[in-house]
A and B are shown apart, each in its own frame.
Chain A
Amino acid sequence: MKVAPEEIERPDALGGIGNSGSVSGCQSPIRRADHVSFYDVEGIRADFPILQQPMHGYPLAYLDSAASAQKPFQVIEAEHAFYARDYANIHRGFYVLSQRATELYDQARRKAQAFLNARQEHEIVFTRGTTDAINLVAASFGEAFLKEGDEVLLTGLEHHSNIVPWQLLRAKKGIVLKVAPVNETGEVPLDEFIRLLGPRTRLAAFAHVSNVLGTVLPIAEMIRAAHKAGAKVLVDAAQSVAHTEIDVQALDCDFLAFSGHKLYGPTGIGVLYGKEELLDAMPPYQGGGDMIASVSFERTTYAPLPAKFEAGTPPIAQAVALGAAIDYVTALGLEPIGAHEAGLLAYATERLSAIKPLTIVGTAPKKASVLSFVMDGVHPHDIAQVLDSRGVAVRAGHHCAQPLMARLGLPATVRASFGLYNTTAEVDALTEALEAVEVMFLR
Chain B
Amino acid sequence: MSDSVELYSKAVLDFGRHPRNRRVIAACSHSAQSDNPSCGDELSVSLRIDQNDVICEAAFDGRSCVLATASASLMTELLVGKTPAQAKMLFHRFHALASGDKEEFDDGMDVESARLTVLSGVHAYPVRMRCATLAWNTMLAALENERTQR
Whether A385 contacts B64 in the complex (CB less than 8 A), given A397-B38, A397-B39, comes out as no
Pairwise interchain contact A382-B39, C-beta atoms closer than 8 A:
no
Kindly state whether residue A173 has any CB partner on chain B within 8 Å. Answer: no
B19 interface contact, C-beta 8 A: no
Q: Which residue in chain A gives the minimum CB-CB distance to B5? A: A389
Which A residue's beta carbon lies closest to that of B8?
A440
Would you call A411 an interface residue if the criterion is a C-beta within 8 Å of the partner chain's C-beta atoms?
Answer: yes
Please report the C-alpha to C-alpha distance between residue A180 and residue B116 in the assembled complex, in whole angstroms.
48
Q: How far is the CA of A309 from the CA of B6 in the complex (A)?
A: 51
Q: How far is the CB of A390 from chain B (nearest CB, A)?
A: 8
List chain B residues, Cβ under 8 A from A386. 4-5, 8
Q: Mark B1-29, 1 if CB is under 8 A from A, else 0.
A: 11111011000010011000000000000
- B63 touches which of A56, A388, A411 (Cβ 8 Å): A411
CB of A56 within 8 A of CB of B7, answer no
Contact B13 A440 (CB under 8 A): yes
A389 to B4, CA, bound (A): 6
Interface residues in A396-443 (C-beta closer than 8 Å to B): 396-398, 402, 405, 411-412, 440-441
Count of interface residues, chain B, beta-carbon cutoff 8 Å: 23
Contact: B65 with A382, CB < 8 Å? yes
Q: Which of B117-150 contact A (CB under 8 A)?
A: 125, 128, 131
Which residues of chain A (1-31) have a CB below 8 Å from chain B? Answer: none
A147 at the interface (CB under 8 A from B): no
Q: Shortest beta-carbon distance, A252 to chain B, in Å?
A: 37
Question: Whole-angstrom distance from the CB of B128 to the nearest CB of chain A?
Answer: 7
Tell me how far the C-beta of A441 lies from the nearest C-beta in chain B, rounded to whole angstroms. Answer: 7
A411 and B66: CB pair below 8 A?
no
Between A and B, 26 residue pairs with Cβ closer than 8 Å are: A56-B1, A56-B2, A57-B2, A380-B39, A380-B65, A381-B39, A381-B65, A381-B67, A382-B65, A382-B67, A385-B4, A385-B7, A388-B2, A389-B1, A389-B3, A389-B5, A397-B39, A397-B40, A402-B40, A411-B39, A411-B63, A412-B40, A412-B41, A440-B8, A441-B13, A441-B16
Q: How many A-B residue pairs have CB under 8 A?
A: 61
Q: Does A45 contact B (CB under 8 A)?
A: no
Residues of A within 8 A of B13 (CB): 440-441
* Those 8 A-B pairs whose CB atoms lie nearest each other, nearest first: A379-B65, A56-B2, A389-B4, A411-B40, A381-B65, A389-B2, A398-B40, A397-B39
Q: Which residues of B contact A388 (CB under 8 A)?
A: 2, 4
Q: Which residue of chain B has the shortest Cβ distance to A397 in the bound complex?
A: B39
Which B residue's beta carbon lies closest to that of A379? B65
A440 to B6, CA, bound (A): 12
**12 further contact pairs, Cβ within 8 A, besides A440-B8, A440-B13:** A379-B39, A379-B41, A380-B39, A381-B65, A382-B65, A382-B66, A382-B67, A385-B8, A389-B2, A412-B39, A412-B40, A412-B41
Residues of A within 8 Å of B16, CB to CB, are 382, 441
Q: Mark A51-70, 1 if CB is under 8 A from B, else 0.
A: 00000110000000000000
Q: How far is the CA of A43 from the CA of B73 in the complex (A)?
A: 50
Q: How far is the CA of A412 from the CA of B8 in the complex (A)?
A: 20
Which residues of A are found within 8 Å of B2, using beta-carbon distances? 56-57, 388-389
A66 to B89, CA, bound (A): 43
Query: A397-B40, A398-B39, A398-B40 given as contacts; is B4 within 8 A of A381 (CB)?
Result: no
Give a binary string over A203-226; 1 marks a CB under 8 Å from any B CB, 0 the rest: 000000000000000000000000
Cβ contact of A396, chosen from B7, B17, B39, cutoff 8 A: B39
Chain B residues whose CB sits within 8 angstroms of the CB of A412 once the complex forms: 39-41
Closest chain A CB from B18 CB (angstroms): 13
Q: Note all chain B residues with C-beta closer than 8 A to A411.
A: 39-42, 63
Contacts of B41 in A (CB 8 A): 379, 411-412
- The answer to whether A379 and B8 touch (CB under 8 A), given A57-B2, A402-B40, A440-B13, is no
Query: In the bound complex, what is the Cα–Cα distance between A398 and B38 (angstroms)?
Result: 8
Chain B residue contacts of A441, Cβ below 8 A: 13, 16-17, 66
- Give chain B residues whose Cβ lies under 8 Å from the Cβ of A57: 1-2
Chain B, range 34-70, C-beta contacts under 8 Å to A: 38-42, 63-67
